A and B are shown apart, each in its own frame.
Chain A
């Protein structure tokens, strides 16, 4: 499953966002449009680490990286590349 689709499913299943996945835009603000709050971001980080088998450091846990599904997708891709290079 594509990274963005997995993130959308996490948002519904674990962060309890009410917007259906087919109505989520990849550039919608997680905070403003999808209503993710501070504890929701913590859950999103944990679930993304588990789903993609990556580590999201405190330095990467920023409003910029967690701004949209697209920006989080880009972060996940970078972390996967780093993990792959380390193998």
Chain B
């Protein structure tokens, strides 16, 4: 579906992006802009920032065509896009810029003083500001992409990928889940998730499918109405959303042919329930991780017997997997070999997943049956899913230990009143007079995303904490 004259070494052209934007229905900005001129304006404004090739541009925008415009404009101008939540605080963006060598920020509305600037620059319908704290520009190469792994590996960690390998991953995903040019893909997950940008937006780019973009808050009734009104044929959701749909219990509207669920464990009971909600439809259980580009394995649950509904299926074409350090129960860490793996990890990270070029240690424990189906059994890595968002305990430790007077921070996973995961934080204070739970709470506020914030903070004097060891 891509045009024959892509930019050198990039694999996509300006016309490809304009064509994608032209076949995108943006429910978050229904008034819309003419895709061609709007994209050219975003591209021209970005070029006026005069960033060196290979410089990251942080894009802190909500879902919408404006995000896709800036993302692909950054790539076509030789920069390296890094999409982050629009709720990211200026303190965290500043630190991200320092760790990942970013040169500019694009957001809907920017207070330039927070970034040491006296004015904002135009960036299409949004705003931009240079980030001098990022240091020397051009840390990466044109055609590369940064994707945050703050939820799994640390608050300022990211994966460096190449766009062409992400597009390859999107093609493999489209084959695995049967996306066609006449499909209409609904994106309701945030586009700063690797799954949404690769397995949905880039999948539409390479297959010619239509996109329908929506944004929060998620509401099951509105989701159903969107499927009906916009003739959505393919949708991807998280297990959290799946549970909301199951609670509602109403069959999904007829236009929906294909539903994909991934991002966390889905029980066999939920798989069976989702099959009942979409009789005759296709249900795909997906597994992947940003480090792998991101898609790794798929279970076409509608074609499988019930005893396989606990599985995430088998690897995509040209992706191979192995288990290492396998125990007597057959459970071991999944190692993925793929040519869509990250180039390298950048920023301070809790773990280095790249064992060799193209070989990723996932940190996830699996069992594999005789037919090659993978069954998730737990995690080696240090993260937890809180209300659908991956939260790195390393990130929380990392943030808390920057607070003066905090010697050690110990996050612990707990359950809240609704039975959902949450994190409690124990602070070992070297200065117990200065460090209080309220002070820690205030200090963490600009550093942590909402899902990362501890439910409860307990301060213990360092001496007392040491006595309990």
Residues of chain A touching chain B, judged by Cβ–Cβ distance below 8 Å, are 16, 18-19, 28-29, 31-33, 35-43, 45, 58-59, 61-63, 66
Contacts and interface: CB of A to CB of B under 8 A. Distances in A.
B387 interface: yes
22 contacts: A16-B87, A16-B89, A32-B66, A32-B86, A32-B108, A35-B62, A36-B86, A36-B216, A37-B85, A37-B190, A37-B450, A39-B451, A40-B450, A41-B217, A42-B217, A42-B387, A58-B219, A58-B220, A59-B221, A61-B219, A63-B215, A63-B219
A18 B217 contact: no
A62 to B, nearest CB: 5
A32 B86 CA distance: 8
Chain B, interface size: which category? 35 or more
Contacts of A19: 109, 111
Contact of A63 (B85, B86, B217, B388): B217
Interface in B371-395: 387-389
B450 A32 contact: no
Interface in B437-468: 445-446, 450-451
A34 B114 CA distance: 15
Of A35, A41, A43, most buried by chain B (CB within 10 Å of CB) is: A35
Interface in B171-192: 190
A63 to B, nearest CB: 6
Contacts of A32: 28-29, 61-62, 64, 66, 86, 108
Contacts, number: 84
Nearest to A58: B219
B216 A38 contact: yes
Contacts of A16: 87, 89, 445-446, 450
A60 to B, nearest CB: 9
A39 B389 contact: yes
B5 interface: no
A62 B108 contact: no
A27 B220 CA distance: 25
Contacts of B220: 58
A36 to B, nearest CB: 7
Given A16-B450, A18-B111, A41-B217, 20 more contacts: A16-B89, A18-B89, A18-B90, A18-B114, A19-B109, A19-B111, A31-B28, A31-B215, A31-B216, A32-B61, A32-B86, A32-B108, A35-B60, A35-B87, A37-B450, A58-B219, A58-B221, A59-B221, A62-B222, A63-B215
